[in-house]
Structure 1
Amino acid sequence: MRILIVGRSGQLAQELAARLPRDGHQVTALGQPELDLARPETIARAVEQVAPEAIVNAAAYTAVDRAEDERDAAFAVNETGSGLLAQEAAGRGVPLVHVSTDYVFDGTKDGPYAEDDVTGPQGVYGASKLAGEQAVLAAHPRSVVLRTAWVCGAHGNNFLKTMLRLGAEREKLSVVADQHGAPTFTADIAEAIARMLPGLAAAPAGDARFGVFHYSGLPFTTWHGFATEIFRQAAGRGAKVPGEVAAITTDQYPTKAKRPANSRLDCTRITAVHGIDPADWRVSLSTALDGLLSRG
């Protein structure tokens, strides 16, 4: 199958570009300037040139804090560009997987969020991603919106790599302990998408395999819990780690954009419909550290 990955340099796009060819797919990953979701004229041209049989949109405006000052830029990519990409997929009759985020919720629920829970983004980034979901679903009935959370992995910039860098530099770190969720490794997201694609290619509009799905790691933890496990496993591999990882509150680490206190996602639907179970992020962390620390 010819697959177009949108977002060539992103951490998930790089993982997809490595994973999907293993199933025999012909993969083309495009990013700026050839395919720029903020420049509508590039979208149709790129899709026409690749002539894909499936599209995965792993591109987004993800600068959560900067988005508060760059609303138009965030919406241009996350809503307008994503909607136009969905229109192109619909016009070609090919399925689209569109990656979204837990930030579409307000984070106040007292339990994991299901796909049909009321949304309520607290900032520009979340609002632009929710608008993008709506644009994609309205434009293309054979699309999947895949919400995930706390994404990290071997590529790009993310919490895991930041902790490893800071842990090697400092004796004490302070990490937020009152935001709840679960790390989701890009290798696991790529695997989930790889497993979904063949069924999506064969499924007609209206099939249960399309629509909104949640996919994140298990078990649930906090950023402090994640950091503690990173350093526990890294120390076992001989890496330098801080002597103390202090737990702090969100109020003690202010940011321009408000973060959800609850980013836990209920992933039972993707298991029931696609047969995909959430991965144990502690196992995925071990695999990622084997690669990252061996390079260093």
Structure 2
Amino acid sequence: MNQVTPKDFVLSNEHPHAVNIPSSLVNYIGDNCPMSPNALRLVYGLIFYGQARGAGVNETIRSLGSMLSDYAEIRCVHLSNVVGTPGIRDNRWIRQAVEDLSGSPLFDHISIDGTTKLRVKLANPVFNALPSTEKARKNSIFVRLSPPDMMFRSAYRIRANILMWHCANRKWPMFKLPNVAANSPSEAVAAKRRKLAIELPSHSNEDKLLRERQRRTLLGIKPWVQCRAGWLTSIEELSRDHALSFLVMPVFDPWTDRVIRVDVKIEHRLTQWGPEKLYCGDASVRGIYEITPKGRTSLSRDEWRQKSGQTKIF
């Protein structure tokens, strides 16, 4: 992707196959799609494929799900023409995506017939993630995405693209990095048990712990120390490609001293961050990174506090 300078800075996604997708659907896909670049490309590729054929998002999701008694068949070459690597007729990425999506709650059925046909049936919860009434559609937030947003070998970069388009046009754009583990699998199972206020047999606990570990492996849920490099590299690329600046702010639990979430703020010449709003003084925020088109800088707590009056990242 060509680099953009602040002089010609724009925030629009004008690709001919760009689609406005309800944020409720984007969020549902994000919560349930494996952390795999091919899986993400295929799931969103189905939406882009529907758009290329003149169908809206709702019609595409319905045609590939609730309206089917069995499954829909799509020629792999047609899907690759929309969201494949330009100039390369190779469907191996589709086969890998099908493997990665095996067992995903996004699909009731997904398989590939030889090398030519993709067979899919979307699960009902995917359709249920769409706004269901005219009022809900009017009040919905939409994320405009296009095939080039999926053309990366890193799932972190694809997710970063989606998060950026989700909020970059707001006055105070900010998002939370997904799939950063706030606790261990055993702690997550124990917390759920306490919330339900029930005592489970030991074998049931073991089953739930196994399922939680499998879920985290599928979705790429990891502690910040294990996923930090992937996210930071992807955000650096975003910064260069779109002339955006970012603050990456890990938030620590005061009792365990572990990162429980990572907040990210976006700054560009159209944002309206005020003093002590961009560089806020929250004591739980440590290990902060400034990322601009020029590169990445880590900040100490003292440097963070000294910048509290700034409304730009530099």
TM-score w.r.t. length of structure 2: 0.24
Larger Rg: 2
TM-score w.r.t. length of structure 1: 0.25
